[in-house]
Amino acid sequence: MHKILMAAAALLSLGTLQSQVPDFMTYPAYTGSDLGVHWSAAETKCRLWAPTAEAVRMHLYANGQDGLPSVTVELAKGERGTWYTTLAGNRHGTYYTCQVKVNGKWLAEVPDPYAKAAGVNGRRGMIVNMAAAEPQGWQQDVIPKAVPPTDAVVYELHVRDASIHPSSGAAQKGGYLGLAEAGTKTPDGTPTGIDHLKALGITHVHLLPVFDFNSVDESKPNMSQYNWGYDPLNYNVPEGSYSSDATRGEVRIREFRQMVMALHKAGIGVVMDVVYNHTASTENSVFNQTVPGYYYRQKADGSWSDASACGNETASERPMMRKFMIESLLHWVKEYHIDGFRFDLMGIHDIETMNTISAALNEAKPGILLYGEGWTAGESPLAEVKRALKKHVSKLNGIAVFGDDLRDGIKGSVFKHEEKGFATGNAAAAESVKFGLSGASGHGSVDMYQVNYSIEPYAASPAQVVSYAECHDNHVLWDRIALSNPDATVAQRREMHRLALGIVLTAQGVGFLHAGTEFFRTKQGVENSFQSPDSINAINWNMASEHRDMVTYVHQLIAMRKAHPSFRLGTAGLIGELMKFKSGLPKGVIGYTVSAEYLGDTWKQVTVLYNGNTEPVTAKLDTGGWKTAIHNNRFRGGRAGKKVNLAASSMTILYSN
């Protein structure tokens, strides 16, 4: 332990990491399940892991933001680098900070890393009786049954965006309760919010970060503020700016649960966007003020590594960071009934940690939906072979990655704004789309030399790839189509948009939509709106009224996907056996058939045709006698012979039974 304390001293010099970095893997790992602050009516027990500390103390406060401590308690030294104390009596509602002494210096007061509740802006933790923060009916929350990943249709949504616009009809706009509110309508009576989502038919809502983040001042709820929330502060605490009262730690817990319960009542699962790869600050983070340096990776010269491009990157391979991630995720599952997680910059985390997480979460909630970004934003000292990257997804158990090959195949590279994709007039992108359509799991008809980013198939099954055309990052689909097709008419762009979503919802894999895409949502050309005002980010529900035909189309696509297993094959073997790409089609047309008679589908044979050209073409079929499900981006019944007229930028689906 003396060597650990000496090494830790090298980390503290004017708050800056120096070149001498200790071997963090020698720090004693604690295996107990009692880290953090644990309330009971008779006493509250506290345990903090701080192996480099010379002393640890806990300050108790009457409120979460100002005033001097009412009591300061010295913690006793425990096993495996931990410090502990027991506070007598019912301490629910008491605020606290922990303070660690390293190398003769008291570090800053912070909540402990495991804090479950916090005061305004998360600067002080709060001792909480979680049962006292339950909304009425919480114990009877009916959690939707888990579905196979390929049956999921995920809808990515920002909590504030959902209800802040005047057209939302919500009484409590911009927060958890606004999203939880049922029966909301636009001025002309069109359903909004949760009723819209239920009618659309999605299976899951993916919420952009809702843990306690740093960038919004919770003490000023009436000030115009906005952020996506990818700057973690307290991982196990709900964000306070989405609650009706951020000054009372239990309010955000109760209202978050109300939101989850309302979504569950609508039959919708809840996916949390989690950001364990970096923290909002580095030297001043809860992690660094508890065990300096341990939770982060360093470069050879001792400076902070930054694969997140946000100032730091966490070290998931170190035992106590891995333990923290697992226990934090389990906290959200057990206390908030969360149904899935999306891992931001998952490529920063190591494969072993992600598989350990998957095993623990599936034990707690079998069939939980897990997916993440299979890349980093910069270089990392973690050996590439150990990283949970897209190309390594076959080594991950029950975790999917985003299919950027399909995304940019559909609309063009996110890094080249004027570049067209298959759905926006570029026939050369066809192989990237075919690769995505077949679930990135390998298909003999795909020419991998022409796929935009991948040189070989990477998914072991379609359940390991998320099929999408857009997300919160970069331009929304409507704005991107306008950038790449400035001379196209509005009507032409709408057909391109319909084709793009048609590809997504008929592709093998996990279906994924960005909020508002079903009515041509725009962000007025802003590429990354992470701190843009509500005038850019708010969902204008009047557009759902204006484009009701488009909303109906997306609803019908989702219903078709659910009804017909041809569009959600569960294994790479089934894709290879049953899904056949058609040859001899005009340039700029992709077609495939699925022999669905083995799937119990009412459609025995299915043919899907996508015309990526900006002009109509005629496609020849091997046989006639087809029935029409969709013709040229519209659901309409009919029959087709051996020739099919395909409108510009359109999808057509034929079947026989």
Which residues carry out catalysis? 344, 373
HSE (side-chain half, CA atoms, 13 Å) at 131 = 5
Contacts of 441 (CB under 8 A, 6+ apart): 457, 459, 460, 461, 462, 464, 465, 508, 572, 575
Please state, in angstroms and rounded to a whole number, the distance separating the CA atoms of residues 324 and 431.
Answer: 42
Residue type, 616: P
Tokens of 243: 């609650």
Return the sign of the alpha-carbon dihedral for residues 3, 8, 11, 13. negative
Q: What is the largest CA-CA distance in the chain?
A: 85
Residue type, 403: G
315 touches 297 (CB < 8 A): yes
HSE (side-chain half, CA atoms, 13 Å) at 266 = 26
| DSSP classification of residue 110 | B
Quote the crossing angle between the two packed helices 548-563 and 193-200, to the nearest 10°. Answer: 50
Nearest Cα to 403, choosing from 454, 447, 477? 454
Is residue 382 packed enough to be buried (19+ CB in 10 Å), middle (13-18) or exposed (0-12)?
A: buried
| DSSP classification of residue 456 | S
**SS3 at position 410:** helix
Radius of gyration of the chain (CA): 26
The number of angstroms, rounded, from the C-alpha of 569 to the middle of its chain's C-alpha atoms is 23
Please state, in angstroms and rounded to a whole number, the distance separating the CA atoms of residues 198 and 118.
Answer: 33
Tokens of 62: 């009457």
Is residue 513 packed enough to be buried (19+ CB in 10 Å), middle (13-18) or exposed (0-12)?
A: buried
Is residue 222 packed enough to be buried (19+ CB in 10 Å), middle (13-18) or exposed (0-12)?
A: exposed
Please state, in angstroms and rounded to a whole number, the distance separating the CA atoms of residues 141 and 147.
Answer: 18
Residue type, 369: L
457 touches 611 (CB < 8 A): no
Nearest Cα to 139, choosing from 248, 40, 257? 257
Tokens of 65: 């933001």
